[in-house]
Homo-oligomer: A and B are copies of this chain.
Amino acid sequence: MLRKLLTNGHIRCARRFSSSKAIPELTKDRYNVKRGEYSLLTDGHMAFFMNLLGQNRVINDPSECESYNIDWIKNVRGQSRCILKPRTTEEVSKILEFCNENKLAVCPQGGNTGLVGGSVPVFDEIVISTALMNQIESIDEISGVIVCQAGCILENIDQQIGEKGLMVPLDLGAKGSCHIGGNVSTNAGGLRLLRYGNLHGSVLGVEAVKANGEILDCLSTLKKDNTGYHLKHLFIGSEGSLGVVTKVAIQCPTKPKAINMAFLGVESFDSVLTTFRRCKNELGEILSSFELIDALSLDVVTGHYKMQSPIPQFPFYILIETHGSCNEHDEEKLNRFLESAMGDGVVLDGTATNQPSKMKQLWELRESITQGLLMDGYVFKYDLSIPIKEFYAIVDVMNEKIGKDAVRICGYGHIGDSNIHLNLSFKEYSKEMHNKIEPFVYEYTSSLKGSVSAEHGIGFRKSKYVHYSKSPAAINLMQDIKRMMDPNKILNPYKVLPESS
């Protein structure tokens, strides 16, 4: 039986910085990193930047620099004393040309919402922030293609093109802060990849600036263009280590006329899988999200934020969303699926809605988990692809290994993409616990031929674990590409690739 969503749930959704006020240890100390042989910033360098951008777009006051030096989950902290805010591709080009000639390391930064320490400096790298590159340049309503600067905030783009009947194919929890250039650079996945595919498929073109300042115009707005190598993919997911993305062209789908959601409770992970198979079969083309939340993940938001769940407690919750062009048809499909799944006991309880405010509440239950976890204390976060049959076993494995020492060990994520977010929270960071969890968690994932970073990327914190998911030949080729495109290694150093011998 379906029941209505409770409407008196207090849902807090404002995106905030970490709840903890403590600033993290310096990355160089916590992780014992050695600074590369880059030049030190001089007054002469600063004068060049001031002259290029003007005083307002060069930040060097230590307290103002701080938020650019610390990542969102407060795990890493750099010491940059130079934050640059270009407005145009040409300015980015001049900055990089100068930095390359002067062997100054740089760290490109978008909304700084990354979870692997890729978007903040490790030492004193110059931060190139895309914050002021925030213009949507064109929207083609017939083809659905938009072109925008790298610093546009995802949610802002979605709102603006929504007025023209389009939607961004990408959606993720950090949408209110993250920049589209950062999304592309990290090949962000998110909540609706199941339906709308990945960015390698939907990004039609990229403009990027190479390490030497050369502007590479691959900003095609065409769906099909087989004229030579598909260079844009070098920048999608290489986390700013091969070039700085300055503009992107994206194929945007038509905004759905009908959106429906369901929030279901099931008894076991097997029931989750059964529900997924049925969903794919019965909802077919309208299924846009299939998300898993385990009991302890939901407890994060019902506990810390006092949000209310619309159904009683179950071991697993499933959040389903459909996007379609005819509400009558979509409701019929969804109701038929729910009646059959609840009728034979696979789904134990559930609620369905297409009221915008209630759907927003359901999404907030899911999207607030990441942030809520920070209130536990320190969180070890893993973003793993694991073959679907073994998807959830890792939570049990970690429980067995760590158990009572943790505040919480939980898993949630994108079942439809075999992507689990495994989280282990503790009152505070401890090196000992760190060593107990890693590299075990990566070894385990590797043994199942999974990926040690499904969508968050490698950044600073995972570079030594790449080999768990990539062969030596692949890593060698990555290093060849890096040498070819950035011989002075100025772009986002200490990240993405394992140190070369």
Contact = CB atoms under 8 A, between A and B. Distances in A.
Nearest to A477: B231
A374 interface: no
Contacts of A220: 451
A291 interface: no
Given A216-B477, A281-B254, A226 B142 contact: no
Given A224-B455, A233-B200, A385-B225, A329 B323 contact: no
Interface string A458-493: 100010001011110111011011001100000000
A224 B454 contact: yes
A388 B142 contact: yes
Given A223-B417, A224-B455, A187 B466 contact: no
B484 A222 contact: no
10 contacts: A223-B385, A224-B417, A225-B453, A226-B457, A227-B462, A227-B466, A227-B468, A227-B470, A229-B234, A233-B233
Interface string A63-94: 00000000000000000000000000000000
A34 interface: no
Closest 8 CB pairs of A and B: A201-B201, A284-B325, A233-B233, A225-B451, A224-B454, A227-B469, A222-B385, A329-B329
Interface of A: 142-143, 186-187, 189, 193, 197-198, 200-202, 210, 214-218, 220-231, 233-234, 236-238, 242, 254, 256-257, 273, 276-277, 280-286, 323-326, 329, 332-333, 385, 387-389, 414, 417-419, 449-458, 462, 466, 468-471, 473-475, 477-478, 480-481, 484-485, 496-497
A403 B153 CA distance: 51
A485 B229 CA distance: 13
A97 to B, nearest CB: 13
Given A200-B201, A474-B216, A226 B458 contact: yes
A226 B225 CA distance: 25
Contacts of A283: 325
A284 B225 contact: no
**Most chain-B CB neighbours within 10 Å: which of A231, A485, A497?**
A231
Q: How many copies of the polypeptide does the oligomer hold?
A: 2
A118 to B, nearest CB: 10
Given A198-B201, A217-B474, A225-B451, 19 more contacts: A142-B273, A143-B388, A197-B201, A200-B201, A200-B233, A215-B473, A217-B473, A220-B451, A222-B450, A224-B418, A226-B451, A226-B455, A227-B452, A227-B470, A229-B234, A229-B478, A286-B325, A481-B481, A481-B484
Contacts of A474: 216-218, 228, 231
Contact of A187 (B226, B234, B417, B473): B226
B142 A389 contact: yes
B222 A242 contact: no
Contacts of A223: 193, 198, 385, 417-419
**Most chain-B CB neighbours within 10 Å: which of A210, A223, A234?**
A223
A456 B226 contact: yes
Nearest to A496: B228
Nearest to A286: B285
A222 to B, nearest CB: 4
Contacts of A193: 223-224
A458 to B, nearest CB: 6
Nearest to A480: B484
A218 B247 CA distance: 28
Contacts of A257: 284
Contacts of A497: 228
Contacts of A200: 200-201, 230, 233
**Most chain-B CB neighbours within 10 Å: which of A186, A451, A457?**
A451
Contacts of A450: 222
A142 B385 contact: no
